[in-house]
Amino acid sequence: MATAILDEYLGAALQSPPEGRVSNDVELEIMRYLESEFEDSGIDRCADIFALGYVNSLFALELVTFVERRFDITIGTDDLDLDNFRSVEAMARLVGTIRAAAGR
């Protein structure tokens, strides 16, 4: 029993924390959201999340809603492109572009 608990502890420690797998704070926020959404702590920042399974148009809307609210930005019509939401990296890049354009 004690061994099982230790294994579980070590297993958790061995899995790299999201901090080690992202390049900035925006990516970290998005990564944390997706990891709770998928109950998966091993998502790659460049992985195509639309290929992870059971993803539909409603989930795309959920991502838009999340990004707009969490980062307090408005995504323009032309940026409402599925490719901008395909990965952690793509969403973070979109946030950065919109923030830069708004001078923030």
Partner 1 sequence: MNALAQDLRRFAEDHAAAAGEWDRAGALPDEVVRAVAARGWLGAAVPDTHGGRRLDPVSFGELCAGLGGVCSSLRGLLTVQSMVADVIARRGEDHHRAWLPDLAAGRVIAALAATEDGAGSDLAAVGTRVEPVPGGLRISGRKRWVTFGETAGLYLVLGVTPRGPTAVLVPRDAGGITVEPVRGQLGLRAAMIAHVTFDGVVVPAAHRLGAAGAGLTHVVAAALDHGRYSVAWGCVGMARACLDLSARHAVARSGRLAQHQLVRRLVTDMVAGVTTARLLCEHAAGHPRPDRTMLAKYVAARTAAQVTRDAVQVLGAAGCAPGHPAERFFRDAKLMQLIEGTDEICQTHVCDAEFRRHATRGAA
Using CB under 8 A, count the residues that bind partner 1. 29
Minimum CB distance to partner 1 smaller for 2 or for 39: 39
The first and second tokens of residue 88, run together, are 């952690």
Tokens 């195509």 belong to residue? 48
73 in helix, strand or coil? coil
Min CB(9)–partner 1 separation in Å: 18
Piece in contact with partner 1 (CB under 8 A), picked from 1-9, 23-31, 69-77, 91-99: 69-77
Residue 87: Cβ within 10 Å count: 22
Q: Is 53 in the site for partner 1 (CB under 8 A)?
A: yes
Q: What token pair was written down for 40?
A: 């998966």
> Is 84 within 8 Å of 94 (Cβ atoms)?
yes
Q: Which of 46, 61, 101, 102 binds partner 1 (CB under 8 A)?
A: 61
Query: Which residues bind to partner 1, rule: CB under 8 A?
Result: 37-40, 42-44, 52-62, 64-66, 69, 74, 77-82
